[in-house]
Amino acid sequence: MKEFPFTDTDFQKVSEKVYSACGIVLGPHKREMVYSRLARRIRANGLSNFEDYLAFLDSSSEQEFSHFINAITTNLTSFFRESHHFDYLKNKLIPKIKEDNRHSRRVRVWSAGCSTGEEPYSIAMTVAGEFPSDWDVKVLATDLDSNVLQKASQGIYSSQSVTGLDDGHLRKWFLKSSDGSQYRVKDQLKNLIFFKRLNLLEPWPMRGPFDLIFCRNVLIYFDKETKDTLFDGYHRMLEPTHGHLFIGHSETMSKERCDFKNLGKTMYKRIDAA
Enzyme catalytic residues = 37, 143
Whole-angstrom Cα distance, residue 245 to residue 260? 9
DSSP per-residue letters across 94-141:
HHHHHHHTTTT-EEEEEEES-TTTHHHHHHHHHHTTTS-TTSEEEEEE
Q: Is 75 assigned to a binding site? A: yes
> Are 173 and 186 within 8 A, CB to CB?
yes
In three-state secondary structure terms, 247 is strand
Nearest to 216, CA basis, from 84, 40, 125: 84
Q: Is 81 assigned to a binding site? A: yes
> Are 65 and 57 within 8 A, CB to CB?
yes
CA 61 to chain centre: 24
User: C-alpha angle 150/151/152, rounded to 5°?
Assistant: 90
Query: In sequence order, what are the beta bridge partners of 194?
Result: 140
Phi, psi of 113 (to 5 degrees): 95, 55
Query: In sequence order, what are the beta bridge partners of 199?
Result: none
Q: Is 200 assigned to a binding site? A: yes
Q: Is 101 assigned to a binding site? A: no
Residue 257 neighbours by CB distance under 10 Å: 16
Whole-angstrom Cα distance, residue 43 to residue 47? 6
Q: Is 184 assigned to a binding site? A: no
Q: Is 217 assigned to a binding site? A: yes
Binding-site residues from annotation: 75, 77, 81, 119, 143, 199-200, 216-217
Binding-site residues from annotation for S-adenosyl-L-methionine: 75, 77, 81, 119, 143, 199-200, 216-217
